[in-house]
Each structure stands twice: as C-alpha cells, then as structure tokens.
Amino acid sequence: MMIKLQAKDIVFGYTSTTILDNVNFQIAPSKLVTIVGPNGSGKSTLIKCIDRITSPQGGSILIDRKDVTQMSRMDMARYLSYVPQSSVRIFPTNVFDTILMGRRPHIGWLGSDKDEKKVWEVLRLLDIERLAMNNFSELSGGQQQKVLIARALVQEAEVMLLDEPTSNLDIWHQLDVMNIIRDVVKKKEITAIMALHDLNLASHYSDRIIMMKKGKIVAAGDPHSVITEENIASVYRVEAAIKSLSDRPMIMPLRQIREAKAY
C-alpha cells in the first residue's frame, strides 16, 4: 500500500494530563480521512500536532517518507496546509489578500503575477470570485470557511488538515463545505485529514474514519467498520441505532448510557 502520511508515536500532554498517548496511523494518498471522537478525546490536538501548531512532545510525522517534524516551518508549509475552525481578523483584510497569504511558502519579496493567478484560479474553483474584494470579517460563516479553505489550497500542499470545518454552519453550508473538500481531494489529488464532530457527515463523506477516545485510537478504517453500535456505545457512551443509507452507515442516537451509581 502507498503511504502518504504516517504518524509515529505522537505524544502530547500538559503537566498533569495526557492528551495524546502514542498515536500511530498511516494514510494512503488522495483520501479524505476524518478523525472523530467525544469532546476532549484529542482529535483537534492531533490535527494541531501534525502541523506542529502545538509541538508534540514525542513522535514523528512522515510525508512521502520525509520527516516533516525535522523541517523548518517554511519547508513544512509546502507539505502541509491547515484550515482553522475560524479566523478572527483584528484589522480589515479583503478576501483576495487573505487567500494570497497562503502563497507565502512560494512567494518572493514582491510577489508575482503567478501567485495572483493561483489565487484567482482557486477563487473560481470555489465559486467565490465575486467576493474577492470584500472584507473578510463581513462575510458569513460559510463564506469565511470557504476563504480559509481557499487559502490552504493556494499553499499547494499535498496534505490538508482541517479543524472542524463545519462547526457553526447550518446544514446547507455544512454540505457545501464538505462537497468542496471532497471535490478538491479528487480534483487536486490531495489528502485531507479533518477533525469532525458530526458522525453522519463523517460517515457520508469520508474514505476512512479514525475514532479516538482519551488520546488513543480505538478504531480506524472505512465508515462501516468504525461507525458501529458497539463503538458508539464504548466511545461515546450513547446507545445508537445504525442504519445504512446510500451504502453509508447513518447513526441515530437513542439514549445516554449511564454507569450505575454506587450508593
């Protein structure tokens, strides 16, 4: 099997708590992989550790067998791009300039027409060209998310990391953003790894799902093998019914599982 990205023994924690406990996984090229898990399971931290936004205390990340943890930030940015959950702008910046930031790993001091062409290309790809001169802060949540994805795309990295790209979005925009991610994974042949809360979205769009609990991977594989009643019960402590819809498992949460209290 070809391996695009490999995480080896990723360890991260604060003084008293362990957030990531020797996480290991491998991902094949041009796949959409989703990391799911309850709050505090470490999925967002894992995404940030892969991109060294928070530095892991141990372990290494290999992309095409090259260790990106040993690279400078600028070199690493050519391999990995990152889409934050949201972005607050203190000073006004228009959409074009926001996306142009993503060209930094490739840009000279003055910037060239080539960089600007790339930005227009991506603006058209995501159908947000008309927003180019709008102020980023004045956009809706869905539009902002698209701009952040566009910025990661102009970075031209082969692996894109996304931290809960659909949180704060209504269902129409959730689908819109997920469709965009699925399309760019196919068209640009990149690998996307995202942390996601919504299990049904994860199941519907992902090629592979990684399920985490307390900083460890408890299940990984295609949606059918991960989204099971047993896994949902043990990881989320929720009793759920799983139905198959267009060949994807769909989950209907029924009730919480509470441990019997000892009186």
Instruction: Provide, rounded to whole angstroms, the least separation between the CB of residue 151 and another protein.
Output: 8
- Which backbone phi and psi does 105 adopt, to 5 degrees? -65, -15
Q: Which of 159, 158, 160 is nearest to 148 (CA)?
A: 160
Question: Is 102 a residue that touches another protein (CB under 8 A)?
Answer: yes
**Nearer of residues 52 and 188 to another protein, judged by Cβ:** 52
> Rule CB under 8 A: which of 129-158 touch another protein?
129-135, 137, 151, 155
Q: Which of 14, 109, 172, 263 binds another protein (CB under 8 A)?
A: 109
- From residue 67 to residue 86, the character string flagging contacts with another protein as x (rule: CB under 8 A) and all else as - is -----xxxxxxx-xxx-x--
Q: Which of 131, 135, 113, 201 is nearest to 165 (CA)?
A: 201
Counting Cβ atoms within 10 Å, is residue 151 exposed (0-12), middle (13-18) or buried (19+)? Answer: buried
34's enclosing H/E stretch is strand 32-36
For residue 23, how many other CB atoms are within 10 A of its CB? 25
Place of tokens 């990152």: 82
**Nearer of residues 113 and 230 to another protein, judged by Cβ:** 113
**Nearer of residues 77 and 211 to another protein, judged by Cβ:** 77
Residues that bind another protein (CB under 8 A): 48, 51-53, 72-78, 80-82, 84, 87-94, 96-98, 101-102, 104-105, 107, 109-111, 120, 123, 129-135, 137, 151, 155, 161
